[in-house]
Amino acid sequence: MPHFIVVGFGLSGMALTETLQGQGNTVTVFDDQSQKASRVAGGLYNPVVLKRLNLSWEGSRLMQTALPFYRDLEMKLGVEFDQKLPVLRLLSSPGEQNAWFEAADKPGLSEFLHPEIISNDNPALKAPYGFGRVLHTGRVHTSRMLQAYHNYLSETGSLRQEAFQHKALNFGRDGVEYKGLKADGVIFCEGFGLRANPFFSYLPLNGTKGELLVIQAPEYREQRVIKSGVFTIPLGEDRYLVGATYNRKDQSPEPTPASREELLGKVRKFLMCDFAVVGQRAGIRPTVPDRRPLVGAHPECPGLYVLNGMGSRGVLIAPFAAQALSRLILMGEPLPEAMDCGRFSRRYEKLRRKS
């Protein structure tokens, strides 16, 4: 029975572990809890880029893969974490209304955009031009899901809560060995931590810091996700998640006053009721300049793979990317070209010549 080591336990590591186990393989997961982005994420799934009203990369295929994946995982773990939530895009002018009508008629988008404008009936919202509604949307409670899967791995003896020592890897004819643990392959799902990985540090992984607020707003009384300059997500008990920021310069893990003020300034443009800030979260998203995942095999080291760079749509992309990588590893099936980390082979060759 093939055995694999998965290093890192965010959305990518969880999706890959579940995919490999579902195909009859055994997996050992290393998790030192150094990366928090997946646990603090808003967790929305939505295949439409609402700013430009176009379909995200592989939007339809991502939805077809992710929704059954999370449904099956809920049944396996006995935990509910996939919450179906309407997503409304606040329209700020007649021009945006017309743009919505045009987008809703386009092939591919018509499946996900409701063709009618929804009037505002919430006095706590400033929305004179109403909303456009995205269909088939929701929210994965990522922290709840990852904790449940973490417990499952611990109960089955598949989890090692320790830092992975890259220098302890040894390569042989029969696979990879790590401190006495033999494996057919090692897959690195380290999020932003990949930058310190000596095998895959050549990849252009950036860190984009995202911050969110938790507000208490008793008069808001909104059960839908509202997206304008920022989104508001209902959490229950009059609390809402507000986010998110995108900061490529600050890579510290702590929330900042500057991001708090940025989010407050944007939410006050459309939220007309009183509210209080009761929490603030921060995480470093693993992002890539071309906005595509980093998936595939190491150029020279046999048995080493990477699954990373899910960016702000990790809830949607991770199951799709994990399944594609598992098919590469187990069946030799080529990856979709857009996500194959081989697109950066010239970077590897350049760094190797310098060294």
The CATH number covering residue 247 comes to 3.30.9.10
CATH code, domain with 183: 3.50.50.60
Of 78, 101, 136, which one is at a domain's C-terminal end? 136
Asked if the structure places residue 171 within a domain, the reply is: yes
Q: Is residue 51 part of a domain?
A: no
* pLDDT value for 58: 95
93 within 8 A of 130, measured Cβ to Cβ: no
Sequence-ordered list of residues with C-beta below 8 angstroms from that of 259, at least 6 positions apart, any chain? 209, 211, 245, 247, 280, 282
At 352, the pLDDT band (50, 70, 90 cuts) reads: confident
Question: What's the CA gap between 57 and 320, in Å, rounded?
Answer: 12
- My answer on whether 278 and 306 are in the same domain is no
In this structure, are 93 and 114 located in the same domain?
yes
- Counted residue by residue, the chain has a size of 355
Residue 62: inside a domain: no
Residues 263 and 122 in one domain: no
> Would you say the pTM of this structure is higher than 0.85?
yes
Same domain, 187 and 315: yes
Distance CA 36, CA 41 (A): 9
Beta strands in 85-137 (DSSP E): 87-90, 131-134
Judge if 252 and 264 occupy the same domain. Answer: yes
Pair (222, 336) in one structural domain: no
Within 10 Å of residue 280's Cβ, how many Cβ atoms?
Answer: 18
- Mean pLDDT over 253-260 rounds to 94
- Of 226, 258, 285, which residue constitutes the final position of a domain? 285
Domain span including residue 262: 206-285
Main-chain phi, psi angles of 294, to 5 degrees: -110, 105
Strand (E) or helix (H) holding 200: none
Name residues whose C-beta falls within 8 Å of residue 315's C-beta, 6 or more positions apart in sequence: 11, 41, 43, 44, 45, 66, 140, 142
Residue 60 lies in a domain: no
Same domain, 194 and 303: yes
Q: Report yes or no on 52 lying in a domain.
A: no
Does residue 56 belong to any structural domain of this protein? no
DSSP label at residue 120: P
Please check whether residue 92 lies inside any domain of the structure: yes
Average pLDDT rounded to a whole number, residues 332-344:
96
In a shared domain, residues 246 and 178: no
Residues 200 and 215 in one domain: no
| pLDDT tens digits, one per residue of 276-331 | 999 999 999 999 999 999 999 999 999 999 999 998 899 999 999 999 999 999 99
238 & 334 share domain: no
Query: Hey, which residues does 6 pair with through a beta bridge?
Result: 29, 187
Domain count, the chain: 3
Average pLDDT, the chain: 95
pLDDT of residue 164: 96
Confirm whether 249 is domain-assigned. Answer: yes
pLDDT of residue 312: 87
Q: Are residues 301 and 178 in the same domain?
A: yes
Look at residues 103, 118, 136 and tell me which one is the last residue of a structural domain: 136
| Residue 304 and residue 324 share a domain | yes
Radius of gyration in angstroms for the set of CA atoms belonging to the chain, rounded to a whole number? 21
- How far apart (Å, rounded) are the C-alpha atoms in residues 273 and 232? 13
